[in-house]
Amino acid sequence: MEPSIVFHIGTFPIHQPVFWTWVIMALLSIASFILTRNLQKIPRGAQHFLEVAINWVESLITVDIGSARKVFVPLILMTALYVGVANMIGVIPGAYSPTEDLSTTLALALLIYVLGHVASIVKKGFRTWLKGFFEPYFIMLPLNIAGEVSEFISHSFRLYGNIFGGGILLGVIYMMAPYIVPVPLMAWFGIAMGIIQTAVFTLLASVYIQNKLS
């Protein structure tokens, strides 16, 4: 389904995925400012949850990529936060999940894909990185390229398909049994599904970067 146009900037249309991405960026920016403006050595309140999230990403990076590569923590954490909010914001009446649009998930997967290859070039050097496409034999070049493309496509389509399909499924269930399955319960399903898909996308992003650096 084609996302609707929210408004225009001059003659340029702003569609729902872009508009709600801006909303999520604003929310995350405000939340980041509030949560980090008064950090304490001994965490209290919301700082506990912030440090738990950062520790989880650091442990993920250490296991999948290596302790010396914690430079990827901001990238993975940013991806997890955006994808998490984008997945779950759709449970709010009138809101729209940007990850229900393929262009959003393609952009996210492309970001991970490009940065993974850039990190690989920085670590190995351009010639060694390029040589990897011809391993173990020169004739494997087409298959290696196909594998790279399929990795990028599967990463984006997995998130898009689950969020978009889940939204359709919940809508159908509600139309068939609006009183048997109340709205709060459906919202819970939407949140749980959003959290699961966020974890899957984040874990795969970490693994894909690790594969580029190995």
Domain ranges (residues) in the chain: 5-213
Euclidean distance between CA atoms 155 and 106, whole angstroms: 8
Place of tokens 């403006």: 37
Peptide bond into 136 cis (omega under 30): yes
Euclidean distance between CA atoms 180 and 83, whole angstroms: 30
* 177 φ, ψ (degrees, to nearest 5): -140, 65
Least Cα distance to 163 among 211, 214, 105 occurs for 105
Euclidean distance between CA atoms 6 and 95, whole angstroms: 12
Q: Is the separation of the CB atoms in 160 and 99 below 8 Å?
A: yes
pLDDT of residue 65: 64
Euclidean distance between CA atoms 31 and 26, whole angstroms: 9
pLDDT of residue 104: 92
Q: Is the separation of the CB atoms in 167 and 90 below 8 Å?
A: yes
Three-state secondary-structure class, residue 113? helix
Residues of the chain with pLDDT under 50: none
Euclidean distance between CA atoms 72 and 77, whole angstroms: 8
pLDDT of residue 69: 65
20 burial level (CB within 10 Å; 0-12, 13-18, 19+): buried
pLDDT of residue 11: 87
Question: Which residues, in sequence order, are CB contacts of 140 under 8 Å at separation 6+?
Answer: 134
pTM of the model: 0.84
